[in-house]
A and B are shown apart, each in its own frame.
Chain A
């Protein structure tokens, strides 16, 4: 019954989810890499990206019914709007909740608590400002979302899943190149490997940390828009569950490890969808938690090992 029947029907949409988790997980992993701290407020960066993308795309589409090439432009506008919002929120987040504490060399506990506080502050502020009911996003396509685009192994792939996967792949490749090949990426890897030594070598740690938050925020914000696109709506509480799952994905792949986060995201998306075929959709959120505990018990350094600097 479960797993054997409709295996690919559950597998394929899981990949689209997995790409979203990977995008969010990178935010956790990058920040963890440079600061060795879990950024609890990253789920709210994701949420704000959803709102940013939604407002811009709803305003841009207005009464039009985009199709063909114009759909591509609208999706692109949405992604950029989401990414920019996410980046700005992540920047502010670092300035308010992290930097003052870092200046004082506050204990780790203080960072975790201030990030939790920021998370609750941000999502409830969004709820207050933008209403507490889910807002619907105008579709940038005239195609109905559930209509299959093409089939893989007999499983149909719909347009939204394809768009999400494609955009995510492009962003993941870009990020990988950025971290590997640019001066900025070199700085991030240096700080991740040894912050004190990096500072001695002339790396401006404050700036690198800020940039790391912004990069994570860009990806998380774009993911927020893509999530809103897939579910056709955005709400102020949308960040929590994907955030927790993306963190699980980051730990699964090895927190601090960029390629690990990508792998972990994909794996989690697929496993979760397959598990939901076995246990029913109401248990889907439980799966990620068990995976997290299992990974911590069996292989706490994750599949690909930790350390951004060494193995990225």
Chain B
């Protein structure tokens, strides 16, 4: 190829990238622009495309394109100071990383008492609980490479189990327990549901799992709505679910409606689960998941029972979700089927994808950032548009950064290798052709 050919190819690529930048800018313009309504369905489109906004956004898009295209030339001038502040190198070093985690944990312990009531509530109801959920889904999506779209159904099962065993549902349990004790029942119930659901689907192609869990998530809310005499129907359990309490060995403590005690309880559980999952990742089980992700046929040939390990990942994810459900139910006391709609499953998926598939730190940071941002921006952005942005986040992450913001080193290497055609990077094909 002559130099002139190379140059014309490069021009073509650049022109296409410019086009992408301009179109992308217009999409962002429409997304952030005014909304239409029933009476004026075109107001949103005309308001964002036929106004000065469009020009500004296109200009920004072109500027971004120019920056990215000519970054290499700029880099020679700026490399000196970017190298000095680049935190990624520090994070990569294991010693610094450990210190970083310790500092984060210290901040997580020390900061919340100084936050306002509103942010404390966000930290518990929206961040804390969802960090737990994201950690659980991370096992399914990140470790095992399976797609679970009905994840929140297990959360619902956990919450309703807690409501049942604390005597809040219309049907009475044989014995009423403290919410702490119901954790065991809820985790078992969610795990059983996970196994029952995973059993028929995990033997088949993995993408069936996605759609079956999608349907399952929908069914669970229909059940919660329709079985009035069992679940309390659309209004939720008629009696509020009690808070956690300890009455043991002369210690009497009750978690009240205030947020801080729940925050520290959640933090303790999150740290516990982090340690647990970190060890799991590096155990025999974790290695089996890695093997299945990378090459299911080879894994099966090496004597790994792929079906059993996939089922295990699915069940662990489900029980973590059920566990989070108990904490949630006991904290807010009043649950309705609306807390468990399918959108929540997608939300948790976004947390995991954004943070980084297979990365525990990613799941935590992803959950914290994505749950914090809408609250910080709520005066500027309509909350009803949240899932439009989250959907866009999923697409953009998949196109430009599938490994997430804090990638797991192994997982990002797999994604790169999958693109070179060397490994599969997910467990969505089937090793044993039982079909």
| Residues of chain A from 91 to 132 with CB closer than 8 A to chain B in the complex | 96-97, 100-101, 104-114, 116-122, 124-125, 127-132
- Check if A173 is an interface residue, CB within 8 A of chain B: no
Pairwise interchain contact A129-B41, C-beta atoms closer than 8 A: yes
- Check if A247 is an interface residue, CB within 8 A of chain B: yes
Among B218, B393, B399, B415, max chain A CB count under 10 A is at B399
| Residues of chain B from 29 to 44 with CB closer than 8 A to chain A in the complex | 30-31, 35-39, 41, 44
Pairwise interchain contact B419-A106, C-beta atoms closer than 8 A: yes
Q: Which of B210, B385, B395, B420 contacts A117 (CB 8 A)?
A: B395
Number of B interface residues at 8 Å Cβ cutoff, please give it.
62
Least CB separation from B31: chain A residue:
A125
Pairwise interchain contact A293-B200, C-beta atoms closer than 8 A: yes
- Check if B215 is an interface residue, CB within 8 A of chain A: yes
Pairwise interchain contact A120-B201, C-beta atoms closer than 8 A: no
Closest chain-A Cβ to B40's Cβ sits at a distance in Å of: 8
Q: Determine the chain A residues whose CB is within 8 A of the CB of B353 once the complex forms.
A: 113
Pairwise interchain contact A289-B36, C-beta atoms closer than 8 A: no
Q: Determine the chain B residues whose CB is within 8 A of the CB of A104 once the complex forms.
A: 419
The distance in angstroms between the C-alpha atoms of A106 and B423, with both chains bound, is: 10
- Check if B421 is an interface residue, CB within 8 A of chain A: yes
Least CB separation from B44: chain A residue:
A129
Q: Determine the chain B residues whose CB is within 8 A of the CB of A117 once the complex forms.
A: 390-395, 397-398
Among A109, A112, A301, max chain B CB count under 10 A is at A109
Interface string of A228-259 (1 = CB under 8 A from B): 00000000000011001001100100000000
The distance in angstroms between the C-alpha atoms of A247 and B425, with both chains bound, is: 25
Chain B contact residues: helix, strand, loop or mixed: helix
The distance in angstroms between the C-alpha atoms of A288 and B216, with both chains bound, is: 11
Closest chain-A Cβ to B86's Cβ sits at a distance in Å of: 26
The distance in angstroms between the C-alpha atoms of A297 and B199, with both chains bound, is: 9
The distance in angstroms between the C-alpha atoms of A112 and B146, with both chains bound, is: 10
Pairwise interchain contact B41-A131, C-beta atoms closer than 8 A: yes
- Check if A282 is an interface residue, CB within 8 A of chain B: yes
Interface string of A218-229 (1 = CB under 8 A from B): 000000000000
| Residues of chain B from 351 to 399 with CB closer than 8 A to chain A in the complex | 353, 382, 384-385, 387-388, 390-395, 397-399
Q: Determine the chain A residues whose CB is within 8 A of the CB of B421 once the complex forms.
A: 105
The distance in angstroms between the C-alpha atoms of A105 and B423, with both chains bound, is: 11
Pairwise interchain contact B35-A114, C-beta atoms closer than 8 A: no
The distance in angstroms between the C-alpha atoms of A38 and B149, with both chains bound, is: 13
Q: Determine the chain A residues whose CB is within 8 A of the CB of B420 once the complex forms.
A: 105
The distance in angstroms between the C-alpha atoms of A109 and B428, with both chains bound, is: 7
- Check if B402 is an interface residue, CB within 8 A of chain A: yes
With A109-B145, A114-B394 in contact, is A130–B226 under 8 Å at CB? no
- Check if B429 is an interface residue, CB within 8 A of chain A: yes
Interface string of B187-219 (1 = CB under 8 A from A): 000000000000011001011101110111011
- Check if A2 is an interface residue, CB within 8 A of chain B: no
Chain A interface residue number, banded: 35 or more
Closest chain-A Cβ to B188's Cβ sits at a distance in Å of: 22
Q: Determine the chain A residues whose CB is within 8 A of the CB of B25 once the complex forms.
A: none
Closest chain-A Cβ to B347's Cβ sits at a distance in Å of: 10
Pairwise interchain contact B212-A293, C-beta atoms closer than 8 A: yes
The distance in angstroms between the C-alpha atoms of A21 and B399, with both chains bound, is: 31
Q: Determine the chain A residues whose CB is within 8 A of the CB of B210 once the complex forms.
A: 38, 40, 112
- Check if B186 is an interface residue, CB within 8 A of chain A: no
With A101-B399, A108-B428, A113-B147 in contact, is A128–B36 under 8 Å at CB? yes
Chain A contact residues: helix, strand, loop or mixed: helix
Q: Determine the chain B residues whose CB is within 8 A of the CB of A196 once the complex forms.
A: none
- Check if B435 is an interface residue, CB within 8 A of chain A: yes
Q: Which of B36, B201, B390 contacts A130 (CB 8 A)?
A: B36
Pairwise interchain contact A283-B395, C-beta atoms closer than 8 A: no
| Residues of chain A from 18 to 56 with CB closer than 8 A to chain B in the complex | 37-38, 40, 55
Closest chain-A Cβ to B435's Cβ sits at a distance in Å of: 5
Q: Determine the chain A residues whose CB is within 8 A of the CB of B37 once the complex forms.
A: 131
The distance in angstroms between the C-alpha atoms of A113 and B425, with both chains bound, is: 14
Pairwise interchain contact A124-B391, C-beta atoms closer than 8 A: yes
Among A96, A110, A122, A251, max chain B CB count under 10 A is at A110
Q: Determine the chain A residues whose CB is within 8 A of the CB of B387 once the complex forms.
A: 120, 124
- Check if B222 is an interface residue, CB within 8 A of chain A: yes
Pairwise interchain contact B218-A289, C-beta atoms closer than 8 A: yes
Interface string of B413-435 (1 = CB under 8 A from A): 00100111100111011000001
- Check if A166 is an interface residue, CB within 8 A of chain B: no
Pairwise interchain contact A116-B149, C-beta atoms closer than 8 A: yes
Q: Which of A111, A135, A240, A301 contacts B435 (CB 8 A)?
A: A301
With A129-B35, A244-B211 in contact, is A107–B425 under 8 Å at CB? yes
With A55-B41, A129-B44, A300-B204 in contact, is A116–B35 under 8 Å at CB? no
Pairwise interchain contact B391-A118, C-beta atoms closer than 8 A: yes
The distance in angstroms between the C-alpha atoms of A300 and B434, with both chains bound, is: 9
With A110-B398, A124-B388, A288-B215 in contact, is A282–B226 under 8 Å at CB? yes
Q: What would be 24 A-B contacts, judged by CB atoms less than 8 Å apart?
A: A37-B207, A101-B398, A104-B419, A105-B418, A105-B419, A107-B424, A108-B428, A109-B147, A110-B415, A112-B207, A117-B397, A118-B391, A120-B346, A121-B388, A121-B391, A121-B394, A127-B384, A128-B35, A130-B36, A130-B44, A133-B38, A244-B215, A283-B226, A289-B219
5 other contacts beyond A107-B425, A283-B222, with CB at 8 A cut-off?
A38-B210, A114-B395, A116-B349, A117-B398, A292-B215
4 A-B pairs with least C-beta separation: A117-B394, A120-B391, A121-B391, A124-B388
Chain A positions near chain B (C-beta within 8 angstroms): 37-38, 40, 55, 96-97, 100-101, 104-114, 116-122, 124-125, 127-133, 135, 240-241, 244, 247-248, 251, 282-283, 285-286, 288-289, 292-293, 296-297, 300-301
